[in-house]
Amino acid sequence: MLHGHTPLHWLNLVIHVAFGALALLLGLVAILSAKGGRLHRRAGMLFLYAYGMVIVTALIGLLAFDFRSFLAVVTVLSFYDAFAGYRALQLRGRRPQGIDRIASVLGMCTPWIFIVVMRHLHRPWAPVLTWSILGGLVLMSGYDLLRNVLPLGWLKRVWVQEHLLKMMGAYVAITSAAAGTIFPRALPWAAVVPSVVGTAVGWGFVVVGPRAWGRKSRD
């Protein structure tokens, strides 16, 4: 054992950090590149692959080695944002399918599942930070459930914004998780600051981005 960790724990940590750093880099490339272009699409798809490895190794770490409430809820939110962002791109304004409805219902149920788990484990957790993360998950999954009844015209008009906002949410989540892990003594601000900045950038894309791309395409 090295510094209290088994070799398998260290291996999982190394893989997690490596793919996390790769996901941060690829996500930044996708954010800064021209939306819809080849570089954006390639970087975005590779970002999702790296992100998947981050989620898998995070789950292994939480379940087998070291459970932390903050990382647990961030992992759940990260997965949902990445999944929903990818599905928004696949659906392109169409109604949600069965897998989307299942994910949305699970997202809505997550806070209650978390309460049961934490009471069973008797582990400490930061209520303000945790509930803010879970609140974001409930809002996102709640909106996704409403997509089953919202007018199709609305869905077709905003699917690009949905994709942008959800993928930015995934990038913000992994950034906040990294900051919270690297600077644990600075919590909750180490996680809050990246969240606030990233959310502002995401909404900036939603409000300004499509108009700017529309002007460029007309030019």
For 99-153, what is each residue's pLDDT tens digit?
999 999 999 998 888 877 777 766 666 676 677 778 888 989 999 999 999 999 9
Range of the domain at 157: 7-209
201 in any annotated domain: yes
Residue scoring higher pLDDT (208 or 61): 61
Q: How high is the pLDDT of residue 43?
A: 94
For residue 147, what pLDDT is reported?
95
Asked if residue 132 belongs to a domain, the reply is yes
Q: Output 35 or 79, whichever has higher pLDDT.
A: 79
How many CB atoms are located within 10 Å of the residue 115 CB?
11
Number of domains in the chain: 1
Is 176 among the domain residues? yes
Whether residue 217 lies inside any domain: the answer is no
Stretch 189-202: mean pLDDT: 76
Residue 73 lies in a domain: yes
3-state secondary structure the chain: CECCECHHHHHHHHHHHHHHHHHHHHHHHHHHCCCCCHHHHHHHHHHHHHHHHHHHHHHHHHHHHCCCHHHHHHHHHHHHHHHHHHHHHHHCCCCCCHHHHHHHHHHHHHHHHHHHHHHHHCCCCCHHHHHHHHHHHHHHHHHHHHCCCCCHHHHHHHHHHHHHHHHHHHHHHHHHHHHHHHCHHHCCHHHHHHHHHHHHHHHHHHHHHHHHHHHHHHC
Comparing CA positions, the residue from 166, 172, 201 lying closest to residue 82 is 166
34 belongs to a structural domain:
yes
**211 has pLDDT over 60:** no
**What percent of the chain shows pLDDT beyond 70?**
87
Q: What is the pTM of this model?
A: 0.83
| Cα 89 to Cα 164: distance, rounded to the nearest angstrom | 9
Q: Is 2 inside any structural domain?
A: no
Instruction: State pLDDT tens for residues 63-103.
Output: 888 777 777 888 888 899 999 999 999 999 999 999 999 99
Report yes or no on 184 lying in a domain.
yes
